[in-house]
Amino acid sequence: MSSLLHRVGAASATRPWRVIGVWVTVVLIAFGLAAGVGGSPQDNYTIPGVDAQAGTDLLTERFVEFSGADARIVVHSDTGKVPATELTTLSERLSKVAGVSAVAPPRVSADGDTALIDLSYSVPVTDFSGTEGIDALRAATEPTEDAGYQVELGGQIPENISAPSGVAEAIGIVVALIILVFAFGSIVAAGLPLAVAFVGVGIGSALITVMAGFTDISNIAPTVATMVGIGIGIDYALLLVTRYAEGLRGGMSVVDAAARANATAGMSVIFAGTTVLVSLFGLKLAGIPVYSSFGYATFAMVASVMLASVTLVPALCGLAGHRVLSKRSRNATAVVVADAPRVSTTFKASKTERWATRVGEKPWPLAVAALLILLLLAAPVLQMRTWPQDSGSQPTSNTTRLAYDIVSDEFGPGANGPFIVAIDLDHTSDSELNALIATFKADPGVAQVSPVIRNAAGTAAIVRVEAKTGPQDAATPETLTRLRSALPETSHVTGLTAIFSDISNRLADRLWLVIAVVVALAVILMTAVFRAPVVALKAAAMNLLSVAAAYGVMVAVFQWGWGAELLGLPHEVPVSSWVPILMFTILFGLSMDYEVFLLSRVRELWLKTGDAHTSVIKGLASTGRVITSAGAIMIAVFAGFAMDSDITVKMMGVGLATAVLVDVTIVRMVLVPATMSILGKANWWIPAWLDRVLPKFDIEGSDQAGEPARKEPINA
């Protein structure tokens, strides 16, 4: 593989304009396809095998007018009561909105200053493209707003709209550029990673739009994919440019340096990217179709960025030549042994080497201290409570959040998430139905039970039940469980709150399966590439610690509210159910990136010298600066997304930034060198039988001409 990458790097650097032309063509084709057959992201909460879905299926079969999406209109007056005539006129306009099958009578608050109108659709939310659903509602409510009343929108139709502002991306990119300029001392070198990231992310975004035209892609999946794409796109290109600049300083020609960088750092990029892609397959195990779309979107983004890195970076390096070096480096003359990895003599690199030496001298106390810090950060995860995002978690500037707050104040928190009880009248007599209603009303968690609504055929009925607590409250799922226990087998509780509860339970149940599969696949990959099962298992354990620490910080910030206000949230909120598995699959892949970057250099030195202790010190010294710079860029990108208005994206930004910070400091700078120093040569032990059956990889790129013979691995 490294031989292929060497040839690709040499060819790209020799004919850069051809490569650039190919990528420009690919970009144009991708955007053309997106414009021609692309679609809009939509959240589809169809979940096979859960009770809420059974209830939805029953309504679809027997109660078509209540089987689709829903919306709610909240009308509020600051000066007095809302006139009945205004509400009647508004209801008539709403009944003419496309897709609306039923308009409930206005529900007026006790003081008369607020009215709530619920709309039922006969079509699912996925039938609406882009903003057409909310645009139709806005057009119908505009006369009421013009009359001086406050009108806010809630329900599935308005909540299914997500429009990224671009601010998060801009913040991350600006900070990344500043870091790159300081890291390279050259504007040209700083611009190369950004250019490659833009191309990869642009193509990935176009592919996601194309996928949205053929399958359901979650509203926030493109944002999450963009977050990851920008981060790893810059990181992968940074690693390649760093190795290229290292080759130039070592006396190589432009083409040779580009080819050598692609054969070594490019191999690390391929393996790291493959690890991310493999980890994303874990999302499929969650058992929720809309959740799988996060994997599809991020997969397309990572694949695009990875391919752009190993082809476009060498081409741009061939064009830039020696301009990727700082002026001082270009003017300096230095003799470097061509076959030995260069360790920078700058203050930062020598400081890293001194630190690595210190860790190697006292590995046990530093390893224990690092482990205790990680466990302390992870401790809050024991109290994690999850709930899918809803309007109550959104910023107060959103109309859905404003509607949520008004309804909660005027009608009680349970009015924001009523349970829809779908009753099969073919197996429920009138007396049994009356007994059910009485049971619901007597439940200590129920605030209100609506009158029974029967379908025309008399085969099904709907009852709306409002809890005393809001959808996010821990007591609400308990109320749901009691309601379900009172129902006969053929009747079900559905509605958005019931669906969210089922989603939360499904994701919590599947989390451990996802963790087991992703960790196992990562360990197998690392064992195959590094031929060191001890190193692979240790890397997996450290990545699990990083993820656990990120979970713990997220619980403290959002669920405990320690930093909620700083992030634009008025109060604490549960951790979004979407986040734990999504974060784990992405983080496990990203953490492996840094592990690969570091271990590939350590192994390269180990194979040449056979000195386990020195190889760790020199390997960390030679990669410390690039890993620190890459980590800082990742943190900047993810922290920028923590400013996004969407609560799930906000949590992902905080969690990913925390995990990367922990990974490039505590894990890479302390735990990795400490544990490798403790284990010594045992790091590279491999059973003889396993060494024979594993495929051969050359992640260090030493199968190129001029490399010394490799030292045989330790085996038994």
* Residue 445 neighbours by CB under 8 Å, 6+ apart: 467, 468, 469, 475, 476, 478, 479, 482
The amino acid at 129: S
Contacts of 211 (CB under 8 A, 6+ apart): 217, 293, 296, 297, 300
Q: What is the pLDDT of residue 332?
A: 59
- pTM, rounded to two decimals: 0.84
Instruction: State the DSSP code for 394.
Output: S
Question: Do 294 and 218 meet the contact criterion of CB atoms below 8 Å apart?
Answer: yes
Per-residue CA distances from 173 to 164, 221, 229, 293, 625 (Å): 16, 20, 12, 25, 20
What is the C-alpha separation between 510 and 489, in angstroms, rounded? 25
Rounded Cα–Cα distance for residues 3 and 22 (Å): 22
Task: Supply φ then ψ for residue 153, to 5 degrees.
Answer: -115, 140
Residues in CB range of 541: below 8 A, 6 or more apart: none
d(CA 232, CA 193): 10
**Tokens in use for 391?**
């309007």
The bridge status of strand 114-121 relative to strand 107-108 is antiparallel
Mean residue pLDDT of the chain comes to 87
The greatest distance separating any two alpha carbons of the chain, rounded to the nearest whole angstrom, comes to 95
CA–CA distance from 498 to each of 53, 80, 471 (Å)?
9, 35, 9
Output the CA torsion sign for 381, 382, 387, 388.
positive
Tokens of 534: 């001890």
* Residues 404, 467: Cα–Cα separation, whole Å: 15
Q: What's the confidence (pLDDT) of residue 166?
A: 62
Reference 184, options 598, 633, 604; nearest CA is 633
Question: Which residues lie below 8 Å from residue 662, measured CB to CB, with a gap of 6+?
Answer: 374, 377, 546, 549, 550
Please name the amino acid found at residue 153: L
DSSP of 57-112, one letter per residue? HHHHHH-GGGSS-EEEEEEE-SSSPPPHHHHHHHHHHHHTSTTEEEEPPPEE-TTS
| pLDDT tens for each residue of 310-348 | 999 999 999 999 888 877 766 653 443 334 344 443 434
Nearest Cα residue to 342 out of 271, 264, 267, 269: 264
CB 120 within 8 A of CB 68: yes
User: Is 505 in contact with 518 (CB distance < 8 Å)?
Assistant: no
In this prediction, residue 466 carries a pLDDT of 96
pLDDT at 398: 84
**What is the 3-class SS of 627-659, one letter each residue?**
HHHHHHHHHHHHHHHCCCCCHHHHHHHHHHHHH
- What local confidence, expressed as pLDDT, does residue 162 receive? 59
pLDDT of 342 reads 44
pLDDT digits (tens, 9 = 90+) for 66-123: 888 889 999 999 988 999 999 999 999 999 999 999 999 999 999 999 999 999 998 8
Q: Are 399 and 158 in contact (CB under 8 A)?
A: yes
Q: How do beta strands 714-715 and 685-686 pair?
A: parallel
What pLDDT is attached to residue 380? 96
680 and 363 in contact (C-beta within 8 Å)? no
* Residues 28, 25: Cα–Cα separation, whole Å: 5
Low-confidence ranges of the chain (pLDDT < 50): 333-349, 705-716
Structure-token pair, residue 691: 């060494």
List Cβ neighbours of 376 (8 Å cut-off, separation of 6 or more): none
Q: Encode pLDDT of 534-546 as tens digits.
A: 999 998 999 899 9
